[in-house]
Amino acid sequence: MTITAPRHLWRTLAGLCAALLLATGVAVSGATTASAANNNEIAWNFFRSKGLSEAQTAGLIGNFIHESGSDPINPAAVQYGGGPGRGLAQWEGSRRIDLENFAAQRGVAWSNLQLQLDFVWLELQGTERNAYNKLLATSTPADAAVSVRIWYERPSVHADELRIAAAQKTYNTYSGGGSDPDPDPEPGGAPGVVVGAGVNVRTSPSLGGAIVGSLPTGDVTIQCQTRGDAVQGEYNTDWWAKVSVNGETGFASRAYIRVDAGVNVPTC
């Protein structure tokens, strides 16, 4: 008789076996190499640049640590035991097909880290929008980790303790209250791109602030960013960018301003 265990149980067992093997000096096939040592930091900067809070970002990465069975996260992860799960989120079924099609369109391997981060964001802004909205309602790494598990991952085995622990560790490592892994702020401000024409610049990071000008579509220099009213536009965020327009300085919602992954926008 063949006994089939849920995929997340296999993954948990695989992680424990890998840890034991590594502790005894035995190489593990597919183990994360030194070149991937900053994968967590890359993911952190990516999701923070999208406007997610530190806690929400930690919740996502904590889940990816658990799902991929590796810390730092491993985008090349293949489900233990020959199952269908692949990548950071162990996508399977139609979502795995969507990932592979997305990779084919870009001409890169499905195991590419940046591709998978972009795919996560594509899902959160599209087919997984409900999971995104639930994540935005969280304020702690623990709550964010559980939210991602419930609404985005939807596994058969919860393992919330492991997800929460990984999320909290990530938060402690990269949050403003811990060590600062971010690069130095860009000289003269961080570069951004306005993705909506006529984006209002206001006297405060609030929809009630007086309008002092508007930003045209294209490049913009962000002096710093701060939190304010939540705005749903190209992105759904409560981050506001401090910018200058026509000699006036004010705040424009990050809902219409894109910042590339890895660019450090200082907090006002």
Q: Is the pTM of this model over 0.85?
A: no
For the CA atoms of 17, 21, 22, 25, the dihedral, rounded to the nearest 10 degrees, stands at 180
If you average pLDDT over residues 78-107, what whole number do you get? 94
Maximum C-alpha span of the chain: 76
- Encoded amino acid at 41, one letter: E
If you average pLDDT over residues 25-31, what whole number do you get? 31
Label residue 188 by pLDDT band (50, 70, 90).
Answer: low
Label residue 268 by pLDDT band (50, 70, 90).
Answer: confident
Same fold, 7-26+36-174 and 190-258: no
Class of domain 7-26+36-174 as given by CATH: mainly alpha
If you average pLDDT over residues 81-110, what whole number do you get? 95
Q: Which residue has the tokens 């598990």?
A: 149
Label residue 31 by pLDDT band (50, 70, 90).
Answer: very low
Class of domain 190-258 as given by CATH: mainly beta
Please state, as a whole number, how many other Cβ atoms lie within 10 Å of the Cβ of residue 27. Answer: 8
If you average pLDDT over residues 65-79, what whole number do you get? 94
Can you give the pLDDT at residue 1? 41
Can you give the pLDDT at residue 15? 45
Can you give the pLDDT at residue 163? 95
Can you give the pLDDT at residue 82? 82
If you average pLDDT over residues 144-165, what whole number do you get? 94
Residue 25: is its pLDDT beyond 60?
Answer: no
Tokens encoding 183: 């690069």
Cα–Cα nearest to 62, from 143, 149, 166, 150: 166
Provide the H-helix boundaries in 50-178. Answer: 54-68, 93-106, 113-124, 129-136, 141-147, 160-174
Q: Give the pLDDT confidence of 109-140 residue by residue, as tens digits.
A: 999 999 999 999 999 999 999 999 999 998 89
Residues with Cβ < 8 Å from 177, sequence gap 6 or more? none
Can you give the pLDDT at residue 27? 26
If you average pLDDT over residues 22-50, what whole number do you get? 64
Distance of CA 52 to the CA centre of its chain: 8
Distance CA 20, CA 61 (A): 23
Can you give the pLDDT at residue 72? 94
CB 89 within 8 A of CB 120: yes
The residue with greater pLDDT, 229 or 19, is 229
